Copies of this chain bind each other. A is one copy, B any other.
Amino acid sequence: MGKTLRKLEVSSPVPADIDIANSVAPLHISDIAQELDLAPQHYDLYGKYKAKVLLSVIDELKGKEDGYYVVVGGITPTPLGEGKSTTTVGLCQALGAFLDKKVVTCLRQPSQGPTFGIKGGAAGGGYSQVIPMDEFNLHLTGDIHAITAANNLLAAAIDTRIFHESTQSDKALFNRLCPPNKEGKRTFNEVMLGRLQKLGISKSNPEDLTPTEAKQFARLDINPDSITWRRVMDVNDRFLRKISIGQGPEEKGMVRETGFDISVASEIMAVLALTTSLPDMRARLGKMVVGNSRGGDPITADDLGVGGALAVLMKDAINPTLMQTLEGTPVLVHAGPFANIAHGNSSIVADKIALKLVGPGGFVVTEAGFGADIGTEKFMNIKCRYSGLKPQCAVIVATIRALKMHGGGPDVVAGRPLDRAYVTENVALVEAGCINLARHIKNTKAYGVNVVVAVNMFSTDSEAELNAVRTAALSAGAFDAVICTHHAHGGKGAVDLGIAVQKACESVTQPLTFLYPLDISIKEKIEAIAKSYGASGVEYSEQAEKQIEMYSKQGFSGLPICMAKTQYSFSHNASEKGAPSGFVLPIRDVRGSIGAGFIYPLVGTMSTMPGLPTRPCFYDIDIDTETGRVIGLS
């Protein structure tokens, strides 16, 4: 590292994020790539400030040792967020620009929904940001658009197939699926041979199939009520949550209730995040289950003949996007699966590439969505299980504000002024709240990593309050606990954190220990996770029981579990702060992302399509038509 690093001039009070982002001229991304020893054949430029790093880099660097692998999680947050992304970026700016380490930040790509809706962008904040901010938050290199296109092609394939099956005889259907070529010869292609194999038919010449076999092959006989595949759109469009489709006269009364999710909730996003190679992605896309046949068999994308087309649509999306921080350190942005119904972590392939690029002694810092009970747990038990990678250090981000809330402080509500308790010293409240931090430390440590607590400091925090957190963290088993001011000072404000993380990585000794093995039952796995939340037991709805039975029967019980639970409490009840225990965790329903590779129990209701407020962010967003610059992004 070195040549691309940039000295920040910081102002106080900290200006708005967009003003800081616009005050720094980004370097050409090929300069950033060069510092990582990437040659032009290793990446594709997407304009001047973004490049897709090609997956082939993993193979080329196969022989090289990995760097240190650090995951950033958080304590149970307030609705305002505790600065996990900002800390992830700040830590990397410290490691790269002040501690002379090779470092890559791995971040999720944000959805455009919140950018134009309520939340605004997600590039970090203050003097710890990814730039250019507008390119990070908009389109990026088209991965989410590719997901939307692939997801909806599959959806169209499902309804159209049901329609065509309903209007055609077995013979007509078979003949249309396997039409004779110019020489009058019929052939099966690869994806069709796969379906035959699944059906136990070991014939490869269409003419040899018996009428029964031809029917089995051609008629998927999808049960419309069993379809779990929904359409997606990367827009906050609440009116699409529940819709009826097929109301046109040409669809002949085949009306069906369904709905749209936001694109990042698509299983294809989870596939992108969990895949390890192009052949693996092709296989996972083909295995995605969209519903059942009337006979109860799972119907996949490959049964519909569309798995290959989905892979083609996703062929560029599999390459992570290289960007830069305010201080000129490299960032890989890739995948952004929902943190509730999916696992909320950026991609395996980005982390793998990054670990090779930084090499021994270098650092890859990756963020896990939500609190550590969800994000870090899924990072370990799902993401690391599929990647085979082992982190050395887990950072847990805490704020005095959130700890006070856990200690019994009044409600924190987005958009309302903070209660006085949060802006004046109250050491007792902080100490009481550390019970939440302590449980996250204990749970995270159990994976065999060293835990470093990062206190993301606010100007209203007092010395005594900060000391209280340090003491509590260390007594709960943290390797270290460090006060950080990267929001106000950039990398310079996270140098102590960087040093602590380095030491934590260098001194880890234990192997990675999962919370549960894969070869136990779905219920046993759910119960292991529930126990880590502090639950005394688990209660299943009738629907959940039915689904668990179905997935077990279909042969999917060996998959890891991805809990869909609120991030605002260890329990299912968002208002239970601190470290609740003794509660019974209710499982309302159980669903599967079979291609991505996990079963997800629903603890309560998860919204998968946000809405727009009366005055959405878009009201302030415009383009300066003189300069072409984006204005009003927050």
**Which one of A42-50, A526-534, A552-560 is at the B interface?**
A42-50
Q: Which of B149, B176, B250, B309 contacts A615 (CB 8 A)?
A: B176
Minimal beta-carbon separation of A377 from chain B (angstroms): 30
For chain A, residues 230 to 276, give those with C-beta under 8 angstroms from any C-beta of chain B. Answer: 231, 233-248, 250-251, 254, 256-257, 259
Smallest distance from the beta carbon of A239 to chain B beta carbons, Å? 4
Chain A positions 586-616 with a Cβ under 8 Å from a chain B Cβ: 611-616
Shortest distance between the CB of A159 and any CB in chain B (Å): 4
Contact call A240/B244, Cβ cutoff below 8 A: no
Partner of A622, one of B44, B152, B190, B620: B190
Q: Separation in Å of the A412 CB from the closest CB of chain B?
A: 18
Contact A149 B112 (CB under 8 A): yes
Contacts of A282 in B (CB 8 A): 622-623, 625
Residues of B within 8 A of A613 (CB): 164, 176
Closest-CB distance, A38 to chain B (whole angstroms): 15
Interface string of A297-320 (1 = CB under 8 A from B): 000000001111101110110000
Instruction: Assess whether A189 is interfacial by the CB under 8 Å rule.
Output: yes
Please tell me which stretch of A2-10, A80-88, A134-142, A443-451 contacts chain B, meaning at least 4 of its Cβ atoms lie within 8 angstroms of it.
Answer: A134-142
A621 lies within 8 A of chain B by Cβ: yes
A152:B237 contact, CB within 8 angstroms: yes
A432-451 Cβ-contact flags toward B at 8 Å (1 or 0):
00000000000000000000
Q: How many copies of this chain does the complex contain?
A: 2
Question: Which single member of B148, B238, B248, B257 contacts A250 (CB below 8 Å)?
Answer: B238
* Tally of chain A residues near chain B (CB < 8 A): 90
Q: Is A279 an interface residue when CB atoms closer than 8 A count as contact?
A: yes
Closest-by-CB residue of B relative to A157 is B612
Are B618 and A308 within 8 A (Cβ)? yes
Report if A168 contacts B (CB, 8 A): yes
* Residues in B neighbouring A481, C-beta threshold 8 A: none
Report chain B residues within 8 Å CB of A622: 190-191, 282, 307-309, 311-312
Interface 1/0s, chain A 107-129, versus B by CB < 8 A?
00000100010000000000000
Closest to A286 in B: B622
A278 interface hit (Cβ, 8 Å): yes
List, in ascending order, chain B residues with CB within 8 A of A231's CB.
Answer: 233, 237, 240
A265 → B minimal CB distance (Å): 15
User: Chain B contacts of A164 at CB under 8 A?
Assistant: 613-614
Q: Any chain B CB within 8 A of the CB of A414?
A: no
Q: Measured between alpha carbons, how far is A190 from B619 in the docked complex, in Å?
A: 10
For A279, list chain B residues within 8 Å (CB): 625
Bound CA span A244–B246, Å? 9
Mostly, the A contact residues are: mixed
Residue of B nearest to A244 (CB): B244
A153 close to chain B: CB less than 8 A = yes
Interface membership of A104, Cβ < 8 A? no
Find residues 303-354 in chain A having any chain B CB closer than 8 Å to their own CB: 305-309, 311-313, 315-316
Q: How far is the CB of A26 from chain B (nearest CB, A)?
A: 14
- What separation, in Å, do the CA atoms of A282 and B82 have in the docked complex? 37
**Of A146, A189, A191, A240, which is in contact with the most chain B CB atoms at under 10 Å from its CB?**
A240
The reply to whether the CB of A388 lies closer than 8 angstroms to some CB of chain B is no
Whether B139 and A316, one on each chain, are in contact in the complex, defined by CB atoms closer than 8 angstroms, is yes
Please tell me if A468 contacts chain B, counting CB pairs below 8 Å.
no
A156 contacts chain B at the CB level, 8 A cutoff: yes
Q: Mark A346-365, 1 if CB is under 8 A from B, else 0.
A: 00000000000000000000
Indicate whether A623 sits within 8 Å of B311 (C-beta atoms), given known contacts A46-B46, A614-B177.
yes
Q: Does A204 contact B (CB under 8 A)?
A: no
| Chain B CB within 8 A of A628 CB | yes
**A525 nearest CB across to chain B (Å):** 31
Q: Are B309 and A621 in contact (CB under 8 A)?
A: yes
Most interface-central of A149, A159, A176, A631 (chain B CB within 10 A): A149
* A58 contacts across to B, CB distance below 8 A: none
Q: Is the CB of A312 within 8 A of B237?
A: no
Alpha-carbon distance between A52 and B141 when the two chains are bound, in angstroms: 13
**Bound CA span A161–B234, Å:** 19
Known: A145-B145, A625-B278. A619 touches B247 (CB 8 A): no
A584 is an interface residue with CB less than 8 A from chain B: no
Contact of A156 among B155, B612, B619 (CB under 8 A): B612
CB <8 Å contact, B152 and A235: yes
Asked whether any CB of chain B lies closer than 8 Å to the CB of A173, the reply is yes
Contacts A248-B259, A305-B616 given; 12 further ones with Cβ under 8 A?
A: A45-B46, A47-B316, A116-B309, A139-B145, A159-B239, A168-B614, A242-B248, A278-B623, A305-B615, A308-B631, A312-B622, A315-B630
Q: Which are the 7 A-B pairs with shortest beta-carbon distances? A: A308-B622, A145-B145, A309-B618, A156-B237, A242-B248, A279-B625, A176-B614
